[in-house]
A and B are shown apart, each in its own frame.
Chain A
Amino acid sequence: MATVGLESKTFEKFADVVGHDDDLNYLNHDHSVLSWLFTLDHKRIGLLYLVTITLMFLLGGALAGAIRLELLTPKGDFLTADTYNKAFTAHGIIMLFFFLIPSIPAVLGNFLVPLMIGAKDVAFPRLNLFSYYLYFAGSVIALTALLLGGVDTGWTFYTPFSSTYSNSYVIVMAVGLFVVGFSSILTGLNFIITVHRMRCPGLTWFRLPLFIWGIYATSVVQLLGTPVIAVTLGLLGVERTLGVGIFDPRLGGDPILFQHLFWFYSHPAVYIMILPSLGVTSEVIATFSRKNVFGYHIIAFSSIAIAVFGFIVWAHHMFTTGISPYAAMVFSLLTFSVAIPSGIKVFSWLATMYGGSISFGTPMIYAFGFLGLFTIGGMTGLFLSTLGTDIHLHDTYFIVAHFHYIMVGGAIMGYMAAIHYWWPKMTGRLYSEFWGKLSAGITFIGFNFTFFPQFILGYLGMPRRYYEYPDEFQVLNVFSTAGATILAVGYLMPLVYMPYSFFFGEKANSNPYGGSTLEWTNTTSPPSPHNFEKTPVVTEEPYHYHAKEAAVVSH
């Protein structure tokens, strides 16, 4: 049943032009292990990331399972307090720095940026491979820290707890994050230069696919934010090693300075995770509605606006630290400014669907899921940017639910949509639509089941990072844990049917979903080692479906 209704006659002719099937492609042109480990091909590097971050996701997910299991009952009966603290710290660090931040940018950005802009590769292929190995080395160091005994500071490393009081492997973990941070910086740098200098003839800025705009905005944040967290973790390491007071007030330091420096990166980091998903959603909705994206320019600019505003709202994580009330008011107002471009995007997507010809492939189902969860996540952000309610909700499960809606509901649903959407291009195979849609549905239901009760828990006052809690919170925690088991099933299913399709799936033609961007129209599935037979030339805006038919309505 897989592809019925998905293959579009209209686009088959383009598929025929580029040719497919048993030609030499980037996957099969060289089979040796070394050809993978030392590849400079952006597509293969993307797949290396895919395998590595999937392993990290499994580890982070297992830790999440342990956390939810512990929280099933009010008393600490499954883990000890220390183990629990180390588990949520490791869960946060792995999911944020080793899965979410590299997810779409490193896997799909690597695979797609050159393909979508008609280039043969990224601007600096050797640097690209180096970034991957930095990521790999960072992961090894971080895992070493976990194996040595773990870190119990929370992923936020607040001082003076992390600098003076914690007896865990903070420095080893800081080194791991420092290294992986440079991987992120160099990847962002590579994409910025690639988008600036490697576009094919005719591909002006406003003819770029919106995914590229999303990746570009993300890369700017990676380039400008990450060095600050790197140097902050460096100072934390120095303070721990030398016992000098940079952040410990007993030694003359200022613990709040650490929070400022930390959130200056870590708030924009949220946009590193979500901006690429916003780009993916634009692509998927346009393709499956077979229609141009409504308000293309506004959507492109809103990505840049979110990236820029992201840098001036960091202190909204610190409303209860005793910062000046006037500073709190300014940061509250600035925080609302992020809501506007996000809202514009959602409404523009709805307008894109309006009057379209919508089909329901797996990526579209994931994109619907994204739309719902991202909207709830964004809306609950309003409770937290409003000063009067943030004081009560800060550091409770409301926050936990809110950022999971954005970063798991938003970013991971977007990532899943992207993986399903470009899978035929990456592998040349089609996965089972039945299992795909089923997993999208289960993930959506499981996700809401897990995290919606946490909004109520937070409003009731349950603080985060508690491994024991008062009895009155148990009912909702049981709901949440039950939902997590459903969610786990939803996430595990693709790990079966996707690899299965890689070996046994039906062969995909070059453009199974009727996409309109260069990677669909001008390359084979999977692409040849050097992407394009001939350098493409672009003559019009993206998503010009109507131009393919005579039935163009004049404007």
Chain B
Amino acid sequence: MFEEFKWLPDQASTVAPEVDMLMLFIVVVTVFITALVTVLTLGFAVAFRRKSESYIPAPWFGCIPLEIGWTLIPVGICLVMFSWGVKVYSNIVIPPADAMEIYAVGRQWMWKIQHPEGQREINALHVPIGRPVKVTLTSEDVIHCFSIPAFRVKQDVVPGRYSSLWFQATKAGTYQLFCSEYCGTEHSRMIGKVIVMEEADYQKWLSEGAESGQALQGRKLYTKLQCVTCHTGNAEAKAPNLEGIYRKHIPISHIDGVKIKDGTKVFADDSYIRESILYPNAKVAAGWESIMPTYQGLVTEEELLQVIAYIKALNQGQTPPRTEETPTPATIQNKNPNKEVN
């Protein structure tokens, strides 16, 4: 048990040294204050111990300079910690624009991870060294928390919405991946490994046993789920053209069925696409009827991510033609009887 023991956690991401510096600063300040309080307590206890039963000490009601001092100095210290903390926090939460994206889905009790190139892994995450990585997270059931101590990052994974975290690994090796939000019986077994690899190794790993790419899976779903019936991308379309819309600002006309001001736009990110698939009525693109059915209960969180990956990759003129193999809506629905009628 002593072999594996260490006093300090691995420092394997770009933010880790920043967090540790801040940590060290707070440690120094708090150790100093705690030591001061301890020394004064013990010192006073000895120096002013009761020497005579009849002695009544002179009172001391207050001392304005002293009191201002021990109010303002802590205020100053707190403000330094606060500002420094905000600076480090900003680096932790704001991902660089060029980060590569990986998707992770939490469920009781495992992590399912998908790379854009199509690799899927369970309870393991392979990442290259030196490249910023953004992990988009969601949950199929309860709240989980995606936590990599060696990178000093952590993000709750909340069902029904996307959250994300980012990191840039700096040291090759294998690190712990924990679920750190209590999620039921096997919470403590919802752990995995993060494997940080040299770029070349990572590319090699990617090419080994790759299934078809995530976007390719999404393309299959795009026809299978009948998206292509309306989002044809041509003149017959009954729904907006999805080519090249990802991360664009697109005009919308209705929110939850209520007409809104003309010219309102929405940012077409992952969350918006997800919402539009599950709650088509939530934000309707301007100029289109709200005729789309909901896909709630018809697609899994993983499939959603694949469709989003596909829409993301969908460029001008790439919408596939509708084929006869595409099943009719009735078939899809019969295959996935919706239990959510109540």
Chain A residues at the B interface, C-beta cutoff of 8 Å? 5, 8-10, 76, 81-82, 85, 152, 154, 156, 158, 160-161, 164-166, 243, 249-251, 255-256, 289-292, 294-296, 298, 320-322, 325, 328-329, 332-333, 336, 339-340, 343-344, 346-348, 350-360, 368, 371-372, 375-376, 379-380, 382-383, 385-392, 394-396, 456, 459-461, 463-472, 474-476, 478, 544-546, 548-549, 551-553, 555
B57 touches A291 (CB 8 A): yes
Q: Which residues of B contact A469 (CB under 8 A)?
A: 188
Given A292-B59, A382-B81, A325 contacting B1 (CB threshold 8 A): no
Q: Is the CB of A350 within 8 A of B48?
A: no
**For residue A388, which residues in chain B have a CB less than 8 angstroms away from its CB?**
18-19, 22, 84-89, 92
> Which listed residue (A158, A249, A320, A350) contacts B44, Cβ 8 A?
A350
CA of A353 to CA of B59, assembled, Å? 11
Question: Could you tell me the distance in whole angstroms from the C-beta of B68 to the nearest C-beta in chain A?
Answer: 11
B90:A160 contact, CB within 8 angstroms: no
Q: Are B45 and A551 in contact (CB under 8 A)?
A: no
Q: Which chain A residue has the least Cβ–Cβ distance from B149?
A: A461
User: What are the 9 tightest A-B residue pairs by CB atom distance, in nearest-first order?
Assistant: A461-B149, A249-B160, A388-B88, A386-B85, A387-B89, A466-B188, A553-B58, A463-B180, A472-B4
Return chain B residues, CB-CB under 8 Å to A395. 145, 147, 154, 180-181
Q: Are B176 and A461 in contact (CB under 8 A)?
A: yes
Q: Give min CB distance, A377 to chain B, whole Å.
A: 10
**For the complex, what is the distance from the CA of A376 to the CA of B27, rounded to whole Å?**
11
List, in ascending order, chain B residues with CB within 8 A of A249's CB: 158-161
B237 within 8 A of A: no
A360 CB, nearest partner CB in chain B, Å: 7
B75–A340 contact, CB under 8 A? Answer: yes
Which of A255, A325, A358 is within 8 Å of B158, CB to CB?
A255
Question: Could you tell me which B residues sit within 8 Å of A by CB distance?
Answer: 1-2, 4-9, 18-19, 22-23, 26, 29-30, 33-34, 37-38, 40-41, 44-45, 48-63, 66-67, 70-71, 74-75, 78-79, 81-82, 84-90, 92-94, 108, 141-143, 145, 147, 149-150, 152-156, 158-161, 163, 176, 178-189, 191, 340, 342
Contact between A460 and B9, CB atoms less than 8 A apart: yes
Majority SS of interface residues in chain B? mixed
- Would you give the shortest CB distance from B96 to chain A, in whole angstroms? 16
Q: Is the interface of A mostly helix, strand, loop or mixed?
A: helix
Candidates B78, B187, B191; contact of A340 at CB < 8 Å:
B78
The CB with the most chain A CB atoms within 10 A, among B40, B56, B78, is that of B56
Give 12 CB contacts A-B under 8 Å. Answer: A160-B143, A360-B45, A383-B26, A388-B84, A391-B154, A392-B149, A392-B152, A396-B149, A396-B180, A471-B4, A472-B6, A546-B57
* Chain A residues with CB under 8 A of B108: 165
**Cross-chain contact A291 with B37 (CB below 8 angstroms):** no
Complex Cα distance A439/B231, Å?
Answer: 75
Determine if A160 and B141 form an interchain contact, defined as CB atoms under 8 angstroms apart.
Answer: yes
Check A165–B60 contact: CB distance below 8 A.
Answer: no
Contacts of B30 in A (CB 8 A): 379-380, 382-383
A350→B59 contact, CB < 8 A:
no
* A residues less than 8 Å from B187 (CB atoms): 81, 85, 465-466
* Interface contacts beyond A158-B182, A336-B78, A356-B44: sample of 17 additional A-B pairs, CB < 8 Å, sorted by A: A154-B182, A160-B142, A292-B59, A320-B154, A339-B78, A340-B78, A343-B74, A344-B67, A347-B66, A368-B45, A371-B41, A392-B153, A461-B176, A468-B188, A470-B191, A548-B56, A553-B58
**B340 surroundings in chain A (CB, below 8 A):** 250-251
Please, which residues of chain A bring their CB within 8 A of the CB of B62? 294-295, 298
Q: Which residues of B contact A459 (CB under 8 A)?
A: 8-9, 23
User: B87–A250 contact, CB under 8 A?
Assistant: no
Report yes or no: A161 in contact with B143, Cβ–Cβ below 8 A. yes
Residues of B within 8 A of A375 (CB): 33-34, 37-38
Q: Check B153–A391 contact: CB distance below 8 A.
A: yes
**Contact assessment for B184 and A325 in the assembled complex, using a CB-CB cutoff below 8 Å:** no
Taking a contact as CB atoms under 8 Å apart, the answer to whether B22 and A456 are in contact is no
Cβ–Cβ < 8 Å partners of B48 in chain A: 289, 353-358
A102 to chain B minimum Cβ distance, whole angstroms, is 26
- Collect the chain A residues with CB atoms within 8 Å of residue B9's CB: 459-461
Question: Closest chain B residue to A253 by CB distance?
Answer: B160
Q: Which residues of B contact A156 (CB under 8 A)?
A: 182
User: Most A CB atoms within 10 A — which of B57, B179, B181?
Assistant: B57
With known contacts A161-B183, A351-B66, A386-B81, A392–B57 Cβ distance under 8 A: no
In the complex the two chains form, what is the Cα distance from A154 to B33 in whole Å?
Answer: 34
A351 to B86, CA, bound (A): 34
A469–B187 alpha-carbon span in the complex (Å): 11
- Which of B1, B53, B191 has a CB less than 8 Å from the CB of A471? B1
In-complex Cβ contact of B2 among A81, A340, A355, A475 (8 A) = A475
Given contacts A360-B45, A391-B154, A472-B6, contact A463 B60 (CB under 8 A): no
In the complex, which residues of chain B have a beta carbon less than 8 angstroms from the beta carbon of A152? 184-185
The CA-CA distance from A553 to B55 in the complex, in Å, is 13
Q: Which residue of the partner chain B has the closest CB to A339?
A: B78
Contact of A368 with B41 at beta-carbon distance under 8 Å, contacts A5-B50, A165-B184 already known: yes
Name the CB-closest residue of B to A336. Answer: B78
Tell whether, in the assembled complex, residue A387 and residue B86 are in contact, meaning their CB atoms are under 8 Å apart.
yes
A76: chain B residues at CB < 8 Å are: 188
Partner of B141, one of A165, A294, A355, A465: A165
Q: Could you tell me the distance in whole angstroms from the C-beta of B31 to the nearest C-beta in chain A?
A: 8
| Smallest CB separation, A150 vs chain B (Å) | 13
Q: How far is the CA of A166 from the CA of B182 in the complex (A)?
A: 12
**How far is the CB of A552 from the nearest CB of chain B, in Å?**
8
> In the docked arrangement, what's the CA distance between A460 and B175, Å?
12
- In the bound complex, CA of A249 to CA of B275 (Å): 12
Q: Which of A85, A296, A476 contacts B185 (CB 8 A)?
A: A85
Chain A residue numbers with a CB within 8 Å of B86 are 329, 332, 387-388
Q: Which residues of chain B are within 8 angstroms of A385 by Cβ–Cβ distance?
A: 81-82, 85
A478 and B1 contact, Cβ closer than 8 Å, known pairs A328-B89, A344-B67, A460-B9: yes
Closest CB of chain A to B151's CB: distance in Å? 9
Residue from the list A160, A291, A359, A456 in contact with B60, Cβ < 8 A: A291
Of A291, A350, A358, A546, which contacts B40 at CB under 8 A?
A350
Are the C-beta atoms of B1 and A391 separated by less than 8 Å? Answer: no
A347 to B84, CA, bound (A): 26
In the complex, the answer to whether A81 meets B188 with C-beta atoms within 8 Å is: yes
If A9-B54, A295-B67 touch, does A467 touch B85 (CB 8 Å cutoff)?
A: no
Q: Give, as a whole number of angstroms, the nearest-CB distance from B29 to chain A.
A: 8
A10-B56, A351-B60, A353-B44 known; A463 vs B178 contact (CB < 8 Å) = yes
Say yes or no: B41 contacts A372, CB within 8 Å: yes
Q: Which residue from B50, B60, B74, B79 sits with its C-beta under 8 Å from A358?
A: B50
Q: Which of the listed residues A5, A295, A360, A546 has the most CB atoms from chain B within 10 Å of its own CB?
A: A295
From A10, A294, A356, A395, residue with most partner B Cβ within 10 Å: A356
> Bound complex: CA of A328 vs CA of B94, how far in Å?
14
Cβ contacts under 8 Å, A546 to chain B = 56-59
Contact of A461 among B2, B150, B186 (CB under 8 A): B150
Known: A322-B161, A372-B41, A386-B85. A545 touches B57 (CB 8 A): yes
